[in-house]
Amino acid sequence: MTHAMLKGSNVPLEATTVRAVLRWAPGQGVPVVDASALLLGPDGRVRSDEDFVFYNQPRHPSGKVWLLGKKRLAEGPTDTIQTDLAGVEPEVSQILLVASVDDTSVENATFGRVQGLCILLYDASVADGEPLVSFDITPQTGEETALICGELYRRGEGWKFRALGEGYAEGLQGLATDYGIVVDESDSAQSDSAQTPPQPEAASFPLPPEQPAAQSATSVPTQAAYGYPQPATPATAPVPAASGYGYPPPVAPVPTAAEFRMPPQGPQFIGR
């Protein structure tokens, strides 16, 4: 027989392995609901970020709390968390069962758009058994984006379940932060910077192929042989002044030893 619970009520649990199922009604514009869990110590806070079980970390390192995933049933879509209460570390005094809306599934995703939300607890050792308890969750304002549906907590040698239905407008991140989870926002900053490639400085731009660098001041242009046509010069290269016919060419700068070239010789220097 299923025990229907009211907000704030509690009930002892005889089962040692509990399956907590979040269920809601399907419909147009209804956001997807995600289940998660926070394992808290006696001070009411997580011991480390590993005590947060959610879609990006679906299994606790102890192996005693894990996500089973979503299903689409005739009664409505579900998301499920399973807990081996008998194996939970003694340092953990309570486990919060949380629901949050996926803000990427629809615009303005809040629990005001989710109808028929409830949490059902099953004895996981009994196949196809009836729920042990059920709790219908009604948001107080409709603006909530995360809800603590209930908590599993130690009482003596056993465990109990308390129905809560407490809402958060800051989403899953705001709820987790309140219980000691450190949210690293550097990933989003790195993602933004990665989308904008660094621009090179103007001084480091290489000249394009069609614009070769200017000729060095120390290089000596090649002169045409006396009395012969001058070779064609590229449009971009400086054109040396031609010498007058019958007159010696202008004196060129004296090249260094490594660059020494014989001066051009006209027909008058050719031996006969």
What's residue 128's pLDDT?
87
Count the neighbouring beta carbons within 10 Å of the beta carbon of residue 271: 3
What's residue 1's pLDDT?
84
Print the SS3 string covering 151-186.
EEEEECCEEEEEEEEEEECCHHHHHHHHCCCCCCCH
What's residue 251's pLDDT?
55
The pLDDT tens digits along the chain (272 residues) read 899 999 999 999 999 999 999 999 999 999 999 999 999 999 999 999 999 999 999 999 999 999 999 999 999 999 999 999 999 999 999 999 999 999 888 888 999 999 999 999 999 999 889 999 999 999 999 999 999 999 999 999 999 999 999 999 999 999 999 999 987 655 444 444 444 444 444 444 444 454 444 444 444 444 444 444 555 544 444 544 544 545 555 555 554 444 445 555 544 444 43
